[in-house]
Amino acid sequence: MTETNRVWRLRKRPVGDITDDVLSLENEAIPEPGEGEILFRLNYLSLDPTNRIWMSDMEQYMEPVALDAPMRGVVCGTVIKSNTPEFKEGDIVSGIGTWADYQIGSSASVGLLGDTGDVPVIDAFGTLALVGPTAYFCLLDIGDPKPGETVVVSTAAGAVGALVGQIAKIKGCRAVGLTGSDEKCQWITEELGYDVAINYKTQDVGKALAEACPNGIDVYYDNVGGKILDECLKLMNLHGRIPTCGLISQYNATEPVPGPYNYDLILMHRLKIQGFIILDYMDRYPEALEALSGWMKEGKLKARLDVTDGLENALQAVKKLYTGDNMGKLMVRVKDV
């Protein structure tokens, strides 16, 4: 292993949008795994809205990435060297790692991706490793949608949102998606089966939502917070549920962001708002994987990856999450399996 090891390190905390000086790409030595550890080579790096949270020192659900430390990411890699009986050379692992060609892991940070059958590793990792179980548990456990109910999803063409709408349809619901371009609107209705798509950049969201949800909203799957949350609150039915999976509209904010102005409707309509992070569901992963892979095999669940090649392009690619330029699951391919 004489190859160099490229490592993206966090150099400053972003203020507002992610700028080019936030991360730097360094050439470093390949690390040596210690007792109980493995060395793995990165195949795929998942880019997720939560990356922006980890970069900042805001209050969050894990420790933020330390300044000058390697950037954290959800990764898929191949074991090169193992100092633990839990993994062997050649195993494909996925979990929490860093934006680096070579990295150290252990059973505390990664697990075997497992047999993906006919599904290519990149698709299995892209859909099943993180976003699939997120969509599955957050919608079904917290949102608890019932057949005939109306489910509204923000960032509906994003990695999670694309799956949420399809799962809502599988469960017999009406699915209404908000996204940011006519192309995405077309994709989520024609390919994914959303009943109605709303372009939040060009349409009057309140008016369009009211038209799309003549029976009100029973479940609003929130990925964004902000103004769209406020518009949805106005239409929530009695005892409606708002599973809160993300608040991407405010991650890049530089000033304090007020909560929804229609907060009082939580009381008046007896709504439930509940935050969701997939970390709480690790012990129930098998349930989600079985359901999701079953639906994929039956052709009921379609996934779409938005792949950028080359670890060196990760910083430019992650910005797409905040400009809304991605369609489907954003991913960096470093080396195909």
Are 295 and 289 a contacting pair, CB within 8 Å? no
Least CB distance from residue 326 to its own copies, whole Å?
21
Q: 23, 176, 271, 334: which one contacts its own copies (CB under 8 A)?
A: 271
Q: 109, 112, 199, 263: which one contacts its own copies (CB under 8 A)?
A: 263
Q: 11, 12, 201, 272: which one contacts its own copies (CB under 8 A)?
A: 272
Q: 89, 280, 312, 325: which one contacts its own copies (CB under 8 A)?
A: 280
Are 303 and 9 a contacting pair, CB within 8 Å? no
Q: Which stretch binds its own copies (CB under 8 A): 14-22, 98-106, 243-251, 301-309?
A: 243-251
Structure tokens, 164: 């949420």
> Bridge-partner residues for 236, per DSSP?
217
Q: 119, 277, 289, 337: which one contacts its own copies (CB under 8 A)?
A: 277
Distance CA 237, CA 213 (A): 11
Q: Which stretch binds its own copies (CB under 8 A): 115-123, 185-193, 261-269, 311-319?
A: 261-269
Footprint of its own copies on residues 143-182 (CB under 8 A)? none
Residues with Cβ < 8 Å from 87, sequence gap 6 or more? 38, 79, 93, 107, 112
Residue 131 has a CB neighbour count (10 Å cut-off) of 26
Residue 90 has a CB neighbour count (10 Å cut-off) of 9
Rounded to 5 degrees, φ, ψ at 140 are: -80, -40
Least CB distance from residue 133 to its own copies, whole Å?
15
Q: Which stretch binds its own copies (CB under 8 A): 68-76, 158-166, 268-276, 310-318?
A: 268-276
Structure tokens, 101: 């060609």
Least CB distance from residue 257 to its own copies, whole Å?
7
Decide if residue 269 touches its own copies (CB under 8 A): yes
Q: 244, 293, 308, 326: which one contacts its own copies (CB under 8 A)?
A: 244
Rounded to 5 degrees, φ, ψ at 327 are: -135, 110
Least CB distance from residue 279 to its own copies, whole Å?
9
Least CB distance from residue 98 to its own copies, whole Å?
22
Are 325 and 127 a contacting pair, CB within 8 Å? no
Distance CA 214, CA 221 (A): 18
Least CB distance from residue 256 to its own copies, whole Å?
5
Q: Which CA distances in Å does 308 have to 9, 80, 329, 332? A: 19, 24, 11, 5
Footprint of its own copies on residues 49-88 (CB under 8 A)? 58-61
Name the residue nearer to its own copies (CB basis): 255 or 298.
Answer: 255
Using CB under 8 A, list all residues that contact its own copies: 58-61, 225, 234, 239, 244-247, 250, 256-277, 280
